[in-house]
Amino acid sequence: MFDFIKYWKIYAAVSATVILLGLFSIWKWGYVYSIDFVGGTNLEYQFNPGVTKQQVEEVLEQSDVEIVTLEQRTDNTFFIRLSAIDEQKEDSLRQVLQNSLESEITVIRTETVGPTIGAETLRKTAIAAGIAVVGILLYIAWAFRNVNFALAAITALLHDVLVVVGTYSIISHFFGAELDTLFVTALLTTMSFSVHDTIVVFDQIREYRKKHGVGHIEEFANKALTDTMVRSLNNSFTIMFMLLALVLLGGVTVRYFAVALLIGTITGTYSSPFVATPVAVWLEKRRLSK
């Protein structure tokens, strides 16, 4: 049996470093928000024959539109983000580009979202996350008849949320990843995955306490982690390999969604043995010492 709990200070130092770096990034750089949150129009055009980014940029600058982003996705495909425009304006802009550049445009994607919908998305996301946290807290407290286990699981969950949002801010700054509704989906999935592994460990601790009494919580925690570690890693690796394939081969649309899920899976796998369990042991030892 390996003494996992003995090295809790190392785990705390690793977690604090990652979280503080992420919080610094959020404070310093924030995020690149998608139109899901700030509103706007996304256009993806394919030009035939191909044109250069500079040519497209020059025509757009002469048009009565506000350019937010212009990216060349392939040799003849461009992604354009503008402040919100209606369908008529988009049709007019496309005609101007075709005539000015003498190139036929095939529309790959057009989408327009107003800022009101973005605010509504944020509000619903906060409500969904709050309901999830309260539900998990109540369920674990009821399932294990122990509030300390529930508090430890929520601590690990908040740890995972902070790691994902902080790390994504760094990726957003250096690689241009957008914070969109897919990121919200990845964050909520991370919350569920975090608790999933934690419950497996806690359930094993509960079995040992039923057989041998409640007094040796640290020893039971080390036994439970030793019993479940290999299975937990094997389960997580199967998910990580699939997500890594999506990151490398999945294309631009889902790449950063897969990256957020991959970060969530890694931190969820880490937090169950190295955050939730040490916190549960500490809380139980405090309770039993009173």
pLDDT tens for each residue of the chain, 290 residues long: 778 888 899 999 999 999 999 999 999 998 888 777 777 888 889 988 888 888 888 888 888 777 878 888 777 888 888 887 888 888 888 888 888 888 888 888 888 876 666 667 778 778 877 887 888 888 888 887 888 888 998 899 999 999 999 999 999 999 888 888 788 888 888 887 778 888 888 888 888 888 877 678 888 888 888 888 888 888 888 888 988 888 888 777 788 899 999 999 999 999 988 999 999 999 988 887 77
Token pair of 177 as six digits: 């990843």
Backbone angles phi, psi at 33, to 5 degrees: -85, 140
Among candidate residues 274, 269, 278, 273, the one with its CA nearest the CA of residue 190: 269
Element containing residue 167 per DSSP (H, E): helix 147-175
Token pair of 39 as six digits: 């509103």
Instruction: Report helix, strand or coil for 71.
Output: strand
Burial 169-207 (b: 16+ CB within 10 A, else e): bbbbbeeebbbbbbbbebbbbbbebbbebbbbbbebbbe
pTM of the model: 0.81
